[in-house]
Amino acid sequence: MSFLRFTVLIVLLLSSSLPALSANLGEVKSAMKARQPAIEVLWAEGKIGENNQGFINARGNLSEKNRELVAAENSDRKVVYQAIARSTQSTPKQVGVQRAAQISKRAAPGLWLQDSDGNWYRK
C-alpha cells in the first residue's frame, strides 16, 4: 500500500468517525493527494527524507516552491496525526512516531530515512 493510500484511508476513517472534523480532513486529504506526485519526485531525487517523527525533512537546499510544498505536507500530516490521536486516546507525537516506523518498513529503496537515534540513512 502506498503512503498516499494509507494516509487517505486514515483520513476517510477519521472523517466518518469524527463528523466535526470531516470538512477539514476532506480538504487535507485532497491537498495531500494533489501534492503527492511532487513529493514522490523529491523523494526519488533524494532531496527530502522521512524523519523519525513522521514528517518530511529537506536533505539539502530546496527551491522556495519545494520548501512550501514540504511545509504544506508537514502541516497536513500534523492535522491528520492530531485527529488520529484524538480518536485513539494517544498523542500526535506518538502517532507520528508510529507512522514513521510504518514509512520506514514500506519505503522504497533509495528513500532517505531517519532512525530512532536521529541518524539518516538511505534505504
How far is residue 35's CA from residue 48's CA, in Å, rounded to a whole number?
14
Q: Which of 104, 100, 68, 67 is nearest to 81 (CA)?
A: 100
Task: Let me know: does 39 contact 32? Beta carbons within 8 Å.
Answer: no
pLDDT tens sequence for the chain (123 residues): 455 555 554 554 444 444 445 558 889 999 999 999 999 999 999 999 999 999 999 998 999 999 999 999 999 999 999 999 999 999 999 999 999 999 999 999 999 999 999 999 999
How far is residue 36's CA from residue 91's CA, in Å, rounded to a whole number?
25
Task: Let me know: does 25 contact 94? Beta carbons within 8 Å.
Answer: no
Ordered by start, the domain boundaries in the chain are 3-122
The pTM of the full predicted model, rounded to 2 decimals, is: 0.81
CA geometry: angle 119, 113, 49, nearest 5 deg: 115
